[in-house]
Amino acid sequence: MPATVGRRANRLATVRRVTSRVDRRIVVRVSIVAAVAYAAWLAIGAFGRPYNFFDMKIYHGAVVWWATGHELYEFVAPETTLGFTYPPFAGLVMLPMAHLPIEAAGMMNALASLAAMAVVLAALLRPIVDRLGWSLWYTVALAVPLAAAIEPTRETLGYGQVNLLLFALVMADLIGLRWRSRRGTHVAPDDGLLLRFVYSGAWAGVGIGLATAVKLTPALFIVYLMITRQWRVATTAIATTIGVTIGTFGIVGDESRTYFGSVLWQTERVGAADMTPNQSLAGLLARLYDSIETPGLLWFSFSVLILALGLSRAAHSHADGDELTAFTLVGLTANVISPISWTHHLVWVIPAIIVLADAAVRRRDASRGLTSRAGSGGANSGLPNVNGLRPPIWYPTLTGLRHGIAAVALYLLFLVSPIWPYEHQLPEVSHYQDGLFGAVMENSLALALIVLVAALPWRPGAEPVFYADRLGRIPATARR
């Protein structure tokens, strides 16, 4: 009996040790998350601008104006020349907030945007953390405040913009493609019809279609889907956009005719091209020419070149089994070639940072395998074992280093956002007021986007979304 009691006491002591160790680990992780969130808050205060839901006030004022019987596109915000610039479908979606105070509408938008970003980050990071054996909740809990601190996110949240919600709609289709390529693996035999439909990914394309109906730039994703011959998804996206637009015509025909007949073509409604926050190619060229307007022919020529480059690289990324990088390249390309890309539009740098960081880890891990095989020596190693030819012991550390440095540099660039200390506005002040260095800083985010379109690496076999062909075979790249 005493022996039995002793064994039970030993087991209880072991359980207590394990429990205390787990508790300590959770406390440490929660403390780190809290510290990172606080540091992100400080960074927003240090590098961000004063935020007062400026854009949300315009949207809110416009829908209140519309709800009281006025024409939506006749609204002009007090003390500004700005009005509602989105398609009428966006006005219908925003109409319920006419019954809320501006601050409440802004806070609801911020919370919904943060929740959408957290879900997207969980989906994007899941394959990576599973491969590395990390904790998903801990990784996402660190990633959310880090992502919230950078320029596109803090501007979106602070101004009451919708970019993170549109970003989530587009990325939902990426998740749909992922599930569709693995159809049947998530569903148990007793799952309901709705759950089977969700995990089938048959709805992929609806997110892009809805995003295009709210804002026209996501239409570039439809072009990409057609280039990569993802016909069903492209058709779903087109049908969603057309269906929603026709439905909006049926509900608010006057506003729809006004928007597509005149408002859509009034580019001056959103501001001058050379304004510092416009970090598109058009804004870059206008500032380089020290002009309020963009040199049209030059912009068109370079836009066509960048469009071809971005879509070509996205198609190759898709063919090599990396759909996340393909989507990221399309989003970055849309940012570059759009006539106006305010800094809060540039949310596609978030997956770009993830891709660069994962590429660095993958290359390091691959080089470790190379070094270990070479280190085993002998004829069976398959690798040279001659002095100077065998990979040195520090080889894994340096392999992928440039991608890691690029990820950190990209994050820091969009965290600090050096465009604002060099902000200038014509005709009062030339964009060359602070010399060449000031001009480079004022255009630094636009230059980074162009470099990413041209050089963002993809990861072969990282996230294939190929469909099984008629014989039930999967392309070799997708099996890596």
Q: Using the predicted structure, report yes or no on whether residue 457 has a pLDDT greater than 70.
A: yes
Least confident of 59-63, 391-395, 401-405: 391-395
* pLDDT band, very low/low/confident/very high, at 462 (cuts 50, 70, 90): confident
Q: Using the predicted structure, report yes or no on whether residue 368 has a pLDDT greater than 90.
A: no
Question: Rounded mean pLDDT of the chain?
Answer: 85
Q: Using the predicted structure, report yes or no on whether residue 469 has a pLDDT greater than 90.
A: no
Summarised one tens digit per residue, pLDDT across range 160-194 is 999 999 999 999 999 888 877 776 555 556 566 76
Q: Using the predicted structure, report yes or no on whether residue 382 has a pLDDT greater than 60.
A: no
Position 479 scores a pLDDT of 39
* pLDDT band, very low/low/confident/very high, at 347 (cuts 50, 70, 90): very high
Position 84 scores a pLDDT of 87
Position 78 scores a pLDDT of 84
Query: Residues, the chain, total?
Result: 480
Summarised one tens digit per residue, pLDDT across range 226-262 is 999 999 999 999 999 999 999 999 998 888 898 888 8
* pLDDT band, very low/low/confident/very high, at 471 (cuts 50, 70, 90): very low
Q: Using the predicted structure, report yes or no on whether residue 16 has a pLDDT greater than 90.
A: no
Least confident of 50-59, 197-206, 412-421: 197-206
* pLDDT band, very low/low/confident/very high, at 378 (cuts 50, 70, 90): very low
Percent of the chain clearing pLDDT 70 (strictly above): 81
Q: Using the predicted structure, report yes or no on whether residue 447 has a pLDDT greater than 50.
A: yes
* pLDDT band, very low/low/confident/very high, at 300 (cuts 50, 70, 90): very high
Position 144 scores a pLDDT of 97
Q: Using the predicted structure, report yes or no on whether residue 478 has a pLDDT greater than 60.
A: no
State mean pLDDT over 109-129. 94
Secondary structure, 3-state, 246-273: HHHHHHCHHHHHHHHHCHHHCHHHHCCC
Position 183 scores a pLDDT of 64
Q: Which residue has the higher pLDDT, 306 or 15?
A: 306
Q: Which residue has the higher pLDDT, 463 or 294?
A: 294
